[in-house]
Amino acid sequence: MEGREVIGRAATDVSGHLSPYSFTLRKTGPEDVVLKVLYCGVDHTDLHQMRSEIMLINYPMVPGSWKWAYKNKFKLGDKVGVGRIISSCGACLLCNSNSEQYCSERVLTTGVVHKDGTPTHGDFASAMVVHHKFVVKIPEKLALEQAAPLLCAGVTAYSPLKEFNNSDKAIKAGIFGARRSWTFGDYFLVSSNAAEMEGAAASLDYILDTVPAVHALDPYVSLLNVGGKLILVRVVTKPLHFNTEDLVLSRGVNEPSRARILSNSTRTQKLFM
Ligand SMILES: [Zn+2]
Ligand SMILES: [Zn+2]
């Protein structure tokens, strides 16, 4: 399929609108696979990218990063998925320690220029080319439309919780800004309800902050238990501020916040096993 024309929908400016767009599929390297896209999703990162809010975008740009496809190489008909990264250098310390999502040569699924000089286009198109390391197998019994959000939003929440609590010990984690599809439990706390917030003070081991817009952090920091961690997993286009006093004096946390992006491919595959 490489070298073939594929049809997609692309943003051509910062307006956020998509229009029909055809382009030539990137040539496959020896370790690439060609995917036929069957399903894809949309999330806030797509909107950020379409509007050129979190990185300088070369237009036209085909967004999308949750995809469901049939591999056209190796074994025709395999049900597979790809997240927000399609390649990395494969040789650096990060790539060799299951942290390839931080590789300085990682190639994002959409909106950047690939090593071969071609622009990367996401899954708002009929096909794409991906390095096999970033392709994960999807169990047959999983419904495609239900599984789709796990490739980006799902692994973004799953991966840090696995990383920081790699044991069977029960933890209490709060997902701030969770949508229905990535809720791990069924307890909801409404932040505008002062009594509920007070009742939940110092109760959480982790908070995953998934909100892609400017927001106050202080009310949520108070929910952390001593030693608890606030983990930022979404990009906010303006600086976030918080008062260090509460963290340092009340929570006893010297290393108060972390930031994580996505997941390594091994852990992403584990999510589906
Ligand atoms: Zn690397
Ligand atoms: Zn996403």
Return the pLDDT at 161: 80
In the reported structure, the alpha carbon of residue 6 is separated from the centroid of ligand 1 by a whole-number distance in angstroms of 29
**pLDDT, averaged across the chain:** 81
In the prediction, which pLDDT does 17 show?
92
Q: Where are the domains of the chain?
A: 5-145, 155-259
* 108 Cα: distance to centroid of ligand 2 (angstroms): 12
Instruction: Check residue 179 and give its pLDDT.
Output: 55
Dist. CA 45 → ligand 1 center (Å): 23
Q: Read off the pLDDT of each residue in 218-244 and give the average, rounded to a whole number.
A: 84
Give the span between the Cα atoms of 97 and 240, in whole angstroms.
30
Q: Report whether 194 contacts 217 (CB < 8 A).
A: no
Res 84: pLDDT: 87
- pLDDT tens digits for 36-76? 888 887 788 888 888 888 777 777 777 765 554 444 445 77
Task: Using the mean position of ligand 1's atoms as its centre, give its distance from the Cα of residue 124 in Å.
Answer: 27
The CATH architecture annotation of domain 5-145 reads Alpha-Beta Complex (3.90)
- The alpha carbon of 251 and the centre of ligand 2 are apart by a number of angstroms equal to 30
What are the tokens at 271?
A: 């999510």
pLDDT bracket for residue 80 (50, 70, 90) = confident
How far does residue 44's CA lie from ligand 2's centre (Å)? 7
Neighbours of ion ligand 1 (CB under 5 A): 88-89, 92, 95, 103
Q: Which fold has domain 155-259?
A: Rossmann fold (3.40.50)
Q: Cis (ω within 30 of 0) for the bond into 60?
A: yes
The rounded percent of the chain whose pLDDT value lies above 70 is 86
161-172 residue pLDDT tens: 888 776 777 778
235 has pLDDT over 50: yes
Report which bound ligand comes closest to the CA of 99: 1
Task: Give the whole-angstrom CA distance, residue 224 versus residue 200.
Answer: 9
What is the number of other CB atoms lying within 10 angstroms of the CB of residue 80? 20
Ligand 1 center–CA 89 separation, angstroms: 4
